[in-house]
Amino acid sequence: MSVNNFFFTQVKKSIVFSKQRLIIVLISIFIGTCVTNAFLNIYFDIDNKMSKELKSYGANMLISSKSDDYLDIKEANLIKSKISKDKLLAYSPYLYFSPVFSTRQLIVAGVDFDEFKKINKFLLVKKGSLSQSEYSKDNSIYLGIDLANTLKKDINQKLPLTIVKNGIPYEKTYIIKGIFSTGDEIDAMAFINLNSAKDLSGINDKYSYVSLIVDDDFENLSELSKIAVSNNAELKPILSVSLKEGAILEKIKGLMFLISIVILIISSTSVNTTLSSIIFSRKKEIALHLALGASFKDIAKLFAYEVFILAVVSSLLGTIGGYFLAQILGNIIFNASIDFRLSAFVLSIFISLFFASFAAYFPIKKALQIDIVGNLRGE
């Protein structure tokens, strides 16, 4: 008992004696743990947060007919019923047909504007209003900006469209309620609400296809496409969107991993340098302990306990700081909080203790190779 009391008294005195330098060690481990814990929390949460951000860039799945130009609505609804409601963020059917304005054939799409806006979040209304009170009207039509320029049409002007049904020409006049742009092929099309499109085209029970946003990664979307099938319709992931999303996430994770490693190496180097400095300044004390009968093992334990106590205290403080740092980064990057994860808390402490032990190993080993006689003589 007395031996233990003497040992811990020595550890306490040793910490007090070198407190100014040991504060550098404490701060180094704190910063390393803080950054590691923050990045681990974000790493575990990034799939959820970033995935939702990336899905605002457009549809990632498509329901289409296996063999026909048009998709049966019942089959589309059957596939929709097999997708979890929690994961289905948008379901936007399209019905394309080609009426004639004057002598020019146009591409007109019937859409559910509420879902259409979810798929095209970067749609920019140049003129008019894309409000529900306007687009729900049976005679409202919206033009892409390129089509409006080609037809030299503006909002509130009339646009008569003619289509031949059963060999008989049928004409309906629309009022242009808005002109918008997305910067892609949509700019060359016209859009009306889905019911109006069914009425004008005479295609009542079919879609051209359905665009979807499903909240999941590429592997799960691929599995879903194998499960959610019907006799003549199929669900397919849009590879260019789904794969790019996965690649972006992996690159961000890789960058966070590299930053964490660099900061841990810098922290370890600081711990190593500071401990070497402390041991150099305490050479005579170490030599005296050895001369009085202390073993090399006792000296190693003395410094190991010092580092261990500092590492545990600074790691615990670092994980707390890391959690708050993760909240700050989460609000800046994702405009959302980062969930607390015990695994990130435990893992960051373990990683910090590992790097602190590695950093302390060489200074402690050097302390055991001291010249006892030379140091006691003051050489």
pLDDT > 70? residue 357? yes
347 or 293: which carries more pLDDT confidence?
A: 347
Confidence of residue 206 (pLDDT cuts 50, 70, 90): very high
- What are the counts of helices (DSSP H) followed by strands (DSSP E) for the chain? 13, 14
Angstrom CA distances, 37 to 51, 91, 150, stand at 21, 38, 56
211, 92 Cβ separation under 8 angstroms: yes
Instruction: Tell me the C-alpha distance between 155 and 141, whole Å.
Output: 9
With a threshold of 0.75, does the pTM exceed it? no
For residue 1, the model assigns a pLDDT of: 46
User: 292 phi and psi, to 5 degrees?
Assistant: -85, 0
How confident is the model over 157-201, as pLDDT tens digits?
A: 999 999 987 788 888 999 999 998 887 788 999 999 999 999 888
297, 367 Cβ separation under 8 angstroms: no
Strands 206-207 and 71-72: antiparallel
Confidence of residue 314 (pLDDT cuts 50, 70, 90): confident
The DSSP string of 202-270 is: ---SEESEEEEEE-S-HHHHHHHHHHSB-SSEEEEE-HHHHHHHHHHHHHHHHHHHHHHHHHHHHHHHH
Instruction: Tell me the C-alpha distance between 66 and 235, whole Å.
Output: 10
**pLDDT-wise least confident of 109-113, 214-218, 235-239, 333-337:** 333-337
The DSSP string of 148-174 is: HHHHT--TT-EEEEEEEETTEEEEEEE
* 165 strand-pairing partners: 168
How confident is the model over 19-76, as pLDDT tens digits?
A: 777 788 788 888 888 888 888 888 777 766 666 666 666 778 889 998 888 999 999 9
How confident is the model over 107-146, as pLDDT tens digits?
A: 999 999 999 988 887 788 888 888 888 888 889 999 999 9
- Which of 59-63, 150-154, 237-241 is the most confident on average? 150-154
Instruction: Tell me the C-alpha distance between 298 and 282, whole Å.
Output: 15
Q: Angle formed by the axes of helices 296-333 and 2-17, to 10°?
A: 50
Residue 125: strand, helix, or coil: strand
- Say how many C-beta atoms besides its own lie within 10 A of residue 205's C-beta: 9
pLDDT > 70? residue 102? yes
